[in-house]
Amino acid sequence: MRSNRASLDKLKALQTLVAIVDRGSLTSAARSLGSSLPSVVRQLAALERELGARLLNRTTRRQSLTEDGRLYLERARRVLADLDEADRLIAVQHAEPSGTLSVTAPVLFGHMHVAPAVARFLQRYPLTQGRSG
């Protein structure tokens, strides 16, 4: 089993490859990632070394994907999109409620049972506001 560090490095390498292709150059990719050019070059070289395949043909003026690079990039985009979706699902699960909470109940029941529960709810979730009706 791979260590978490190796998995995070691989994730960073996938993000780097996508940035290089999307931005059109190693320098632009480094800028968009908030990284240095040597770091981006190392990430790409390490990924190619690990795969045992060249992903990009590079010259001083131009770069282009190899066939292996094209296939790998397609899968890398899918992996990153799936990971983003998983992150969003978890974020939604842990999102704090906001907006207006409207409760209707008979007066006596409301005073005895609903009002205390709503007060605790509003205290726990300050982005909500209560409205009785």
Q: Domain residue spans in the chain? A: 4-93, 99-132
Q: By 3-state DSSP, what share of the chain in percent is helix, strand and coil, each rounded to 5?
A: 65, 10, 20
Which pairing describes strands 63-65 and 56-58: parallel, antiparallel, or unpaired? Answer: antiparallel
Residue 73 CB coordination number (10 Å):
20
pTM metric for this prediction = 0.67
- Per DSSP, 1 falls in state -
Q: Is the pLDDT of residue 112 over 80?
A: yes
**pLDDT tens for residues 32-89?**
999 999 999 999 999 999 999 999 998 878 899 999 999 999 999 999 999 999 999 8
Query: Domain 4-93 has what CATH class?
Result: mainly alpha
* Six-digit token string for 57: 């043909």
* Six-digit token string for 83: 């990971």
Q: Is the pLDDT of residue 6 over 80?
A: no
**Percentage of residues of the chain with pLDDT beyond 90:** 62
